[in-house]
Structure 1
Amino acid sequence: MLQKITIASVYESLEHVMDPEIPVLSVIDLGMITGVELEEGGVHVKMIPTFAACPAVSYIQQQIKTVLEQELDIAVTVTVDKQAHWQSNRMTAAAKEKLQNFGIAPPQLLAGEMHAEILLAVPCPHCGSKETYLRSPFGSTLCRAIHFCKSCGQVFEQFKPLE
């Protein structure tokens, strides 16, 4: 018997599509999904990358397609939504907690314009100290910066806030 596909079931399956660079976060956690439309014979998912030049966009699109087709047994189309842009405020509270537990400082909530000072004094995800400093605004990926904690001596990354 075929299961009835609903928008809720699509979103539930999207929880299983993990970010290739931070595998504890799903595309839902990151707020990358901007729309799901049920169409005759399939589903259309609209997504946005976390950064415009993200090299993983096509990989994530393919993962969405593969996971949904396997779990829901339905044809899937995935497109990049050109009408929306990603902001770090789209991340769920659960995503920020998962980042912290993974050893990456989550982005601060932005209210207004982004200022360079927001990259300073980022709490350490290892010990919680605010005695940290920015070592480099460029991390292992476009969406991260590198910090050092004076209290515990750990180098850590921060997921950059973006508005």
Structure 2
Amino acid sequence: MTASQISSERIWQALSAVPDPEIPVVSITDMGMVRDVQVDGERVTVTFTPTFSGCPALHVIKGSIGEAVRGLGVQEVEVKSTLTPPWTTDWMNADARERLRQYGIAPPAPAGEQLITLEAEPTRCPRCGSLNVRMTASFGSTLCKRLYVCDSCKEPFEGFKSV
């Protein structure tokens, strides 16, 4: 099959099955990382924005995008990453936020218009729902998360940063 025989909708559907390599319960489209899909003759170009400019999974994401599109039978695939505009947690869909919570990661609050926050936003425990939590580390298992402990249920958990 050639690129010209595949709709951009079919490509978006294939990309929706590509998991975030660091948080497998959400896809790269759930996270809002895929910015554009273009079909031009026999070539497909996918542009994505990583969640952080120094994301250690950048090459894995790029490879997974190419693999998903080639899996549709497209031979010419270009995958571009862009940092402009920078990714924001506002691009995540609501379903992704709920799956993060069910997975045990506190979802981020909307980032809104603020460019920088000096204090972390209120974080709700994903297990018991309490706001009686305290941050124990500014960085979790990945740069996009913080570590917390809930003082109500005593469980440690990670919280996704709002950016």
Whole-Å separation in 2 of the counterparts to 1:53 and 1:110? 20
Structure 1 residue 82, shift from structure 2 partner: 4.1
- The more displaced of 73-82 and 89-98 is 73-82
Per-residue Cα deviation, 1:42-99 (whole angstroms, up to 9, x for no partner): 21000010011001001100001111211x1103210112432101111110110110
Structure 1 residue 27, shift from structure 2 partner: 0.7
Amino acid at match of 2:74: I
Q: Secondary structure at the match of 1:118?
A: coil
Q: Is residue 73 of structure 2 the alignment partner of residue 85 of structure 1?
A: no
Match of 1:110 in 2: 111
Name segments (4+ residues, structure 1) moved above 6 Å. none
Whole-Å separation in 2 of the counterparts to 1:32 and 1:143? 14
Whole-Å separation in 2 of the counterparts to 1:107 and 1:140? 16
Alignment of 1:100-139 (within 5 A): 100-113=101-114, 114-119=116-121, 121-139=122-140
Contact 2:106 2:160 in 1 (8 A): yes
Match of 1:57 in 2: 58
Q: What are the ranges of 5 or more consecutive residues in structure 2 without an aligned counterpart?
A: none
Percent identity, aligned pairs only? 36
Per-residue Cα deviation, 1:88-141 (whole angstroms, up to 9, x for no partner): 11111011011001100000012221323234x410001101100111111111
Whole-Å separation in 1 of the counterparts to 2:151 and 2:106? 15
Q: Is residue 71 of structure 2 the alignment partner of residue 74 of structure 1?
A: no
- The more displaced of 81-90 and 13-22 is 81-90
RMSD between aligned residues = 1.5
Whole-Å separation in 1 of the counterparts to 2:101 and 2:126? 5
Q: What are the ranges of 5 or more consecutive residues in structure 1 without an aligned counterpart?
A: none
Amino acid at match of 2:119: E
Amino acid at match of 1:126: R
Superposition TM-score, scaled by structure 1 size: 0.93
Contact 2:53 2:83 in 1 (8 A): no
Contact 2:35 2:47 in 1 (8 A): yes
Match of 2:17 in 1: 16
Match of 2:156 in 1: 155
Structure 1 residue 39, shift from structure 2 partner: 1.5
Superposition TM-score, scaled by structure 2 size: 0.93
Number of residue equivalences: 160
